[in-house]
């Protein structure tokens, strides 16, 4: 499994708008792609901005190509997202998932 990692920053005022965009637009699109296995949207409140870390899980680089195109290192940032973000990474990183632990009740 491959984990795709991307970071972005928003003002406190626009942070909620990015979260709504992610939930309403990004996730439905991702769910329609074969090989997509899940996503995490992480938030860290900082003094000057809110930082987001987006982690998506994929079966393979080929599955990621379906989403990102041939240049899988290029970040896919829709205009609606770019409009509410202060800044964002133009590229992404990919990590091979070596181990994952889940705890159940």
Which pLDDT tens digit goes with each residue over 49-96?
999 999 999 999 999 999 999 999 999 999 999 999 999 999 999 999
Give the residue extent of every domain in the chain.
2-96
| Residue that wins the pLDDT comparison between 104 and 75 | 75
DSSP for 43-85, written as a single string: EEE-SS-EEEEEEEEES-HHHHHHHH-S-TTB----HHHHHH-
CATH number of 2-96: 3.30.70.100
Stated as kind and residue range, the H or E segment containing 21 is helix 12-21
pLDDT at residue number 48:
94
Average pLDDT over residues 27-31: 96
* pTM (2 d.p.): 0.93
pLDDT band at 105 (very low <50, low <70, confident <90, very high): confident
* Residue carrying structure tokens 């998506």: 56
Average pLDDT over residues 28-41: 96
Average pLDDT over residues 97-101: 95
Over 90: is that where the pLDDT of 22 sits?
yes
The sign one gets for the Cα dihedral 32, 79, 68, 64 is negative
């Amino acid at each position: 499994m491959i984990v795709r990692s991307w970071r972005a920053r928003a003002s406190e005022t626009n942070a909620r708008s990015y979260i709504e965009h992610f939930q309403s637009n990004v996730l439905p699109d991702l769910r329609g792609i074969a090989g997509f296995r899940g996503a995490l949207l992480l938030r860290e409140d900082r003094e000057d901005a809110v930082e987001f870390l987006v982690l998506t899980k994929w079966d393979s680089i080929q599955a990621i190509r379906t989403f990102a195109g041939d240049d899988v290192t290029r970040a896919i940032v829709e205009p609606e997202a770019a409009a509410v973000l202060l800044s964002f990474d133009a590229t992404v990183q990919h990590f091979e998932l070596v181990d994952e632990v889940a705890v159940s009740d």
